[in-house]
Amino acid sequence: MARLVSELPLRQETLTVYGKSWPTPRLTSLHGDPNLRYTWSGRTFEPEPWTRSLSQIRDLITETTTHRYNSVLANYYRDGKDAMGAHADDEPELGPDAPDDVLIASVSMGDARRFVLKPNSPDEGRDAGLKVSLGHGDLLVMGGSTQRDFKHHVPRTTKYIGPRLNLTFRMMRQR
């Protein structure tokens, strides 16, 4: 994790949500194959090239999941105040076939954080869904209709939590 944090061009982006601009409550870095673009929250990002470390991890994830990913979004949570709001990764360029089938392999490094997956349907009830602590070395794979039928987030916490790096490997289609 320390090597990745030192070599990735992690930065705090400004995104627009409901017409208002906000700094992201974490640092990010997008990497991938040439000629890809990824648009979310009204901004289009072009990935940085793969680093050697990211390529090695991608190869391990490919071997484990039997799927090849052509991009990765690194999210660096500096402490418990950094977070990810509830969302679905359902952008049209995600594949293999958004929103009906989006495949994401998420690798956690560093301190454990709570990951919450909630159904979009209000009929499911307030306590429906999944809450899991993802720690160093954990791999979470989301596929099929997960992004269509659920939202997920990493909530803030007031407990002391050290840094966490999350790598979300994705399949992106050229648009």
For the chain, list the domains and their CATH numbers. Answer: 2-170 (2.60.120.590)
136 to 16, 113, 162, 163: CA distances (angstroms): 31, 10, 12, 11
Among 93, 117, 113, which residue's Cα sits nearest to residue 32?
93
pLDDT at 74: 98
Residue 105 in contact with residue 71, Cβ under 8 Å?
no
pLDDT at 20: 87
- Long-range (24+ apart) CB contacts under 8 A made by 131-135 are 134/106, 134/108, 134/166, 135/108, 135/111
Residues 6+ apart with CB under 8 A from 166: 74, 75, 76, 77, 106, 107, 108, 109, 113, 134, 154
pLDDT at 99: 83
Pairing assessment for the beta strands 101-102 and 96-97 based on DSSP bridges: antiparallel
For the chain, what is the radius of gyration of the CA atoms? Answer: 16
pLDDT at 123: 72
Going through 33-70 in order, the beta strands assigned E by DSSP cover 38-40, 43-45
Low-confidence residues of the chain, pLDDT below 50?
none
CA angle 169/170/175 to nearest 5° reads 150
Q: What is the DSSP letter of 89?
A: -
What backbone phi and psi angles, to 5 degrees, belong to 32?
175, -175
Q: Encode pLDDT of 7-35 as tens digits.
A: 999 999 988 778 888 899 999 999 999 99
pLDDT at 125: 65
Among 11, 13, 54, which residue's Cα sits nearest to residue 32?
54
Total-model pTM: 0.93
pLDDT at 17: 76
